[in-house]
Structure 1
Amino acid sequence: MFPIFSRSGWLLLALASLCAPAVHGQQQAVLSELPVLPEPSSLSAPAPEVPAIAISLAVFSTYPSETLLDACGDTEPNQACIEDTITPEAFISTLIAKSWFTEIKPFGNDSDYELLIANVAKQDETSTMSRALSEALLEELDEELNEEKHFTELTLQWRGIEIDSLVISSQVNSNETATNKAIEPLLSWYKHATENGLLTPSFLYHALNASDYGNHLSVPESLGDFTRLDTQLYPDPFKGSITRYTHPFFEDALVDVTVYPILAKLDTNTLSNQSETASTANTENSARTDALLHQQLDEDWNKADHVAHARNLTLSQARPISPFNVVGFANGWRLALKAESAVDDPIFATTYVFTRKDKIVKVATTFPSDFSDNLAHELIAHITVPEESMLMQQVRAMLK
């Protein structure tokens, strides 16, 4: 039995679960965040071939909405709109056969994106007469006698929140198989999805009222000898944006700047510190803010420790977690790591974390802090981040 996905009662639950980490197999930003311990020459590896849209998509059957029933014209008792005249299995098998997505998960619960499908067909006089006629007579009639009008509603959700819905009408021959009947509405929806970028981070951020990094994030075009390669969005508004800087001569020397919202209530100091100028900024951190920044670095340390163990490296802190102040702009923290082995050159990584408005700004480099400190200073002095989004206001209002 194909599960039915209910539309009601999901908004609060979805908002409460929005901050959950992205699941395995979800779409990734082209600029994946630097590993805490970088692999040498990692950018030179060829990219594997992927489907047109690299996401895992869960698919559910759902009840028809009022919009869908209105489109079908369910107004006369003798012209009823019959549900699921195209079976859910037909939609599933067609989506799988088309290979538009990395993975199709029928009624799966571990994908960020969910496609809800409702389908009805109008039971009109023509189709009633068609069933009453003998097979011999049907062959003599015009093909239009056997046509059915189907109405399909495809609703796209992200972690339980609707971000788009489309009703598609299609005219098909009643003698067609259910799989063939499913092709036309799915082709129309896929065209709509690709033309409007429904499964892109930019559409997702806009649909959820998340921060507009494209227009309201400003980062320097260069940091010292490093040049900005690109700025991209993660496919998760709680991971924010990533900017990568590269060096003209040293391929493995990279600087990543990630900006993402604080997933906690804001303290009064953060709320009052809205200025980005040296003359008015309140750069004193509260104990709560410092604890939050320490948590980011502790997580990086744990990731690095796991990587070092897997690669038989000895991990140490070249410098322990320590305050890092950009005078007049922000007080942050720094973690400098060093990983050594008996056969390879040491690997260095330095991470800096700051708060700016309701965001965390993380600067990660693949070299020692002696070389990266000045770059972190320059970045923090010139970065501008978006204001608190409506999405985060709603999420924080639900947090204790």
Structure 2
Amino acid sequence: MNILKIAQSCRTLVLASLFGFSASALSSNYSIYAAYVNEEIEDACLSFDNCELNLLEQAQFESIIVSYLDEQQRLTDDGTPAHLLATLQSGEYELLAGSAKFNAGDTDVSQIEYTLNWRGIPIFEITTLQNGLSLEDAVLSSVKTLVEEIEAQHVLHPQFLFQQVEASDYFNELSMPENVAGFYRQQMQLQQDPTRGTLVRYEHEQFPSAIIDVYVYPIVKHDYQDKQQELMYLELSKDLQVIEAISEHRDIQSINIGEISSIENGMVFEVQADDGVEEMYTSQYIFVQEDKFIKFSANMPAQFSDVMVQEVMSSIAVPPPSEIMNAFRDVDRAFSTTPAQEYADESNTEDTAEVAVTAAL
């Protein structure tokens, strides 16, 4: 992972916010920001006559980019424009755009640089060159290239993100049995967020409606090794809250929610409900291995899923801690042990952002 790029990204975002380009200062729903071009592009531009840098502001970039993507999602069957628009509204991603214009001989040259960040970490970069176009037309042309490259390189697919941020390699390093206690493993599915890990579904060979989902995902807290029992309890408590909210929303009157109880190396709770049409069951288990939670969600009473869960836990091997999660835990440790005022000091906002991320990585 390129630490320098991450530190530079933090600096760019802080500077952008100082000049009014932050999301909070705008009515925009899209995380698109004007940013300074990198030093290589700046030096190349300055070597030509009439070099002009960072000409377009955030509102201009956003208007051109969003208008093009919106038009394309309506006119074509290609899902990339719609996916990119949704991604830039998610709060997890941001698109930084920089511009440079210079004269090379008798030709005006426009250079547009894009960086797509996930949580401030650069995961994809592209630079385009256009000759003889106005800067606005050059941006429009560059957006077409941006979309084509995002589609060609599968940039918006979870596997691309996992690889770029050096998250755990679940496809190659997560070992789980193919079949166990009458259940057969289905295809693994990465979650959209590396902190949510992956999902593996097991279906029963004789009863296809009998399903056990296994979620394997990293623990973000830096002190997880000392607080495994507490953290497992908190995770299952979140599931209980979701179940209670769903039952209330669906007005399910007959529901029995069991207490969270300890089992060997883990915890479990059961739920039985009747919505007037059918009886419903869920059994939720949680364990910890390495730096990962292993959570089982079975749509059956625990007496039928216990054996399967026990056999999977006896053979499962999770990936080792990843670089990105080690970095997140270092940041969590820093914010847990340092007085909040040090991070709230506005005079050191830029330095704090760089130090926190760079030190973590």
Q: TM-score range by the shorter chain?
A: 0.7 to 0.9
Who is 1:384 aligned against?
317
2:48 is equivalent to residue 91 of structure 1: no
Q: Closer, same or farther in 2 for the Cα pair 1:298/1:220, shift >3 Å?
A: same
Q: Closer, same or farther in 2 for the Cα pair 1:258/1:85, shift >3 Å?
A: closer
Secondary structure at 1:181 match in 2: helix
Who is 1:168 aligned against?
128
Q: Match for 1:391: what amino acid?
A: I
Q: Post-superposition shift, 1:251?
A: 3.7
Who is 1:59 aligned against?
32
- Whether the 8 Å contact between 1:63 and 1:118 is mirrored in structure 2 is yes
Runs of 5+ consecutive residues of structure 1 not aligned to the other structure: 1-5, 13-55, 127-146, 271-285, 326-330
CA distance in 2 between counterparts of 1:11 and 1:119 reads 16
Secondary structure at 2:196 match in 1: coil
CA distance in 2 between counterparts of 1:225 and 1:356 reads 24
Who is 2:52 aligned against?
81
- Whether the 8 Å contact between 2:51 and 2:100 is mirrored in structure 1 is no
Q: Post-superposition shift, 1:11?
A: 9.2
Who is 2:203 aligned against?
246
Q: Match for 1:74: what amino acid?
A: L
Pairing of 1:5-16 with structure 2 (within 5 A)? 7-9=9-11
Q: Post-superposition shift, 1:265?
A: 1.8
Q: Closer, same or farther in 2 for the Cα pair 1:207/1:10, shift >3 Å?
A: farther
CA distance in 2 between counterparts of 1:307 and 1:8 reads 39
Candidates 26, 40, 43, aligned match of 1:70: 43
Q: Post-superposition shift, 1:79?
A: 2.8
Alignment size in residue pairs: 301
Provide TM-score, normalisation by structure 1. 0.69
Who is 2:302 aligned against?
369
1:232-260 C-alpha deviation (Å, 9 max, x unpaired): 11111110010011234434321100011
CA distance in 2 between counterparts of 1:358 and 1:195 reads 34
Matched residues, percent identical? 25
1:219-240 C-alpha deviation (Å, 9 max, x unpaired): 1111222211110111111100
Structure number with higher helix proportion: 2
**Is the radius of gyration larger for structure 1 or structure 2?**
1
- Whether the 8 Å contact between 1:59 and 1:92 is mirrored in structure 2 is no
Secondary structure at 2:160 match in 1: helix
CA distance in 1 between counterparts of 2:213 and 2:164 reads 27
CA distance in 1 between counterparts of 2:312 and 2:293 reads 13
CA distance in 2 between counterparts of 1:119 and 1:10 reads 14
Provide TM-score, normalisation by structure 2. 0.76
Secondary structure at 2:195 match in 1: coil
Pairing of 1:35-54 with structure 2 (within 5 A)? none
Pairing of 1:109-188 with structure 2 (within 5 A)? 111-124=91-104, 126=106, 148-174=108-134, 178=136, 180-188=137-145
CA distance in 1 between counterparts of 2:68 and 2:13 reads 30
CA distance in 2 between counterparts of 1:150 and 1:10 reads 21
Q: Match for 1:191: what amino acid?
A: E
> Could you say what the CA RMSD is over the residues aligned between the two structures, in angstroms?
2.7
Secondary structure at 1:80 match in 2: strand
Who is 2:238 aligned against?
299
